[in-house]
Amino acid sequence: MTLPGLARRTAAYLPRLEDALRRCYPVALACANWRIPIFRLQGITRAGCPGTVLVAGQEPWVNYLPSCFFSTVTARELLEVTPIWLAGRSIERLGPSADLTVMRVDRISSALLFRDDYLAVPAWVKMVLPVPKNPLDLARGNHSLQGDLRLIKRGNLQAQVTREDSSFTFFYESLYVPFVRRRHAELAFVRDAYWLRRRCQKGGILWITCAGERIAGMLFEERRRVLYLWAEGVLDGDPKLVKRGAISALHFNIIDYACRQGCHSVDFGAVRPCLGDGLLRYKHKWGMTITQKRDNYYDFLVRWNEWNKSVAAFFLETPVLYRSSNGLSALTSVVADNPATEADGVRAHRLFWTDGVERLSIVSPSGWEQNIRAPAHTWLLDCPSPGTTVQIRGLIGRLENLG
């Protein structure tokens, strides 16, 4: 057989090989990550007081939630490296010394080895947009989107779609990689060039141009009337181009393209599991819905010993999404010296509610006023008394069983 013939035959089996690898990947992760480090972080919390977090998992990936707890980290101590099936026992022994415990483990280990008194926070969720009949309808009554559209028009940003393979290298090396690395620093995940090229062959690249120069691009795949957006970037990762509206132009024009192609939805990809995350809030204003990410292979497992000032400040600033009985729910906090009011609940709901969330739980350390009404799909929770070790995860579990 000639070399070209062998290449064609091998390529024909690649989709099936990719599917097989995808099915085996979670099991491989559970085997590969069978030992995890446990370390203690100390510093100044977002509440302005000293705090401690017990962290278990591989760095830098485990650092996302601990970095949201601290304003400054002053000390880091490696405590032990343990097999994952013994990690729960170590956490029980070491956990009482910490305000918060955060573990990052694969989904299989999360389901098999750890009890229900952890919040299972997916490492990533995704956002999907049902395609509107007219993309301009998204901006009606939305002042932020109206401002974005004015910025696109003022900058004379134009869109074009290409499908030729020759433009892929320029997109990957000059737009996508610099943009991802500048935005996410040490937590950047750069997709494999070969994998992205295969996605591009089933879709294309949407370009944003200014004065004839390509300044931004978005690689997409079209499959069964769904557009999957796999990568985006601006030229050289330049943040000035983002401020000029290049990313907004990508989003508006890909929605317009999906509309013209007769697609029913656009998969805008992964975001962090925090309703206060800037990228999540940006995507939400375009009308996107949060949903679980099928190819998310890790969970953050979160617990605390008491709902103190530092823990309350963490959930106030970082309203996390966690796995609940029927999908994704969220947990946040209000900080008040007196029992929280109905207006406090409405304010938190208005700030953080996002389509796709099953329930929003709002904890008030000082309790709630009597006979107040909760916003739709919202639980108003009292926290355990200071000094107790009652896990609020158990309270949420009981409410889910009632609901």
Give the model's pLDDT for residue 244.
Answer: 95
Indicate whether 313 pLDDT > 80. yes
| DSSP code string of 299-359 | EEEEEESS--HHHHHHHHH--EEEEETTEEEEEEE---SSPBPHHHHHHHHHHH--TTEEE
Least confident stretch, 26-40, 64-78, 295-309, 385-399: 385-399
Residue 264's pLDDT band (boundaries 50, 70, 90)?
very high
What gap in Å lies between CA 59 and CA 104, rounded to an integer? 10
CA angle centred on 146, ends 140 and 151, rounded to 5°: 155
Indicate whether 336 pLDDT > 50. yes
Residue 186's pLDDT band (boundaries 50, 70, 90)?
confident
Q: What percent of the chain has pLDDT over 70?
A: 86
pLDDT digits 0-9 by tens, 217-243:
999 999 999 999 999 999 999 999 999
Q: What is the DSSP letter of 57?
A: S
Indicate whether 381 pLDDT > 70. yes
Indicate whether 395 pLDDT > 70. no
- The residue-averaged pLDDT of 171-183 equals 95
Place of tokens 């939305």: 142
Residue 122's pLDDT band (boundaries 50, 70, 90)?
very high
Give the model's pLDDT for residue 3.
Answer: 40
Indicate whether 386 pLDDT > 80. no
What amino acid occupies position 175?
L
Q: 384 near 392, Cβ under 8 Å?
A: yes
- The residue-averaged pLDDT of 160-179 equals 93
Indicate whether 398 pLDDT > 80. no
Residue 113's pLDDT band (boundaries 50, 70, 90)?
confident
What gap in Å lies between CA 376 and CA 358, rounded to an integer? 10
Q: What is the DSSP letter of 386?
A: T
Indicate whether 5 pLDDT > 60. no
Q: How distant is the alpha carbon of residue 181 from its chain centre?
A: 17
What gap in Å lies between CA 207 and CA 215, rounded to an integer? 8
Q: What is the DSSP letter of 140?
A: T
- The residue-averaged pLDDT of 98-125 equals 89
Residue 273's pLDDT band (boundaries 50, 70, 90)?
very high
Give the model's pLDDT for residue 225.
Answer: 94
- The residue-averaged pLDDT of 342-353 equals 93
Q: What percent of the chain has pLDDT over 90?
A: 68
Q: 165 near 221, Cβ under 8 Å?
A: no
Indicate whether 361 pLDDT > 70. yes
Q: Which residues contact 20 (CB under 8 A, 6 or more apart)?
A: none
Backbone phi, then psi, for 150, in 5-degree steps? -65, -40
Q: What is the dihedral of CA 41, 46, 47, 50, to 10 degrees?
A: 20
pLDDT digits 0-9 by tens, 12-48:
445 555 555 555 656 665 566 779 999 999 999 988 9
CA angle centred on 285, ends 279 and 291, rounded to 5°: 65
Residue 168's pLDDT band (boundaries 50, 70, 90)?
very high
Indicate whether 388 pLDDT > 50. no
| DSSP code string of 97-137 | G-SEEEEEEEHHHHHHH--TTSEEEES-EEEEEEPPSSGGG
Q: Give strand pairing partners of 328.
A: 323, 357
Examine residue 60 and say whether the peptide bond preceding it is cis (omega within 30 degrees of 0).
yes
What gap in Å lies between CA 33 and CA 36, rounded to an integer? 7
> What H or E segment, with its residue span, contains residue 220?
strand 213-223
Give the model's pLDDT for residue 116.
Answer: 72
What amino acid occupies position 76?
R
Q: How many CB atoms lie within 10 A of CB 139?
A: 19
Give the model's pLDDT for residue 50.
Answer: 95
Q: 207 near 214, Cβ under 8 Å?
A: yes
C-alpha count within 13 angstroms, C-beta hemisphere, residue 348: 31
Place of tokens 């999404």: 321
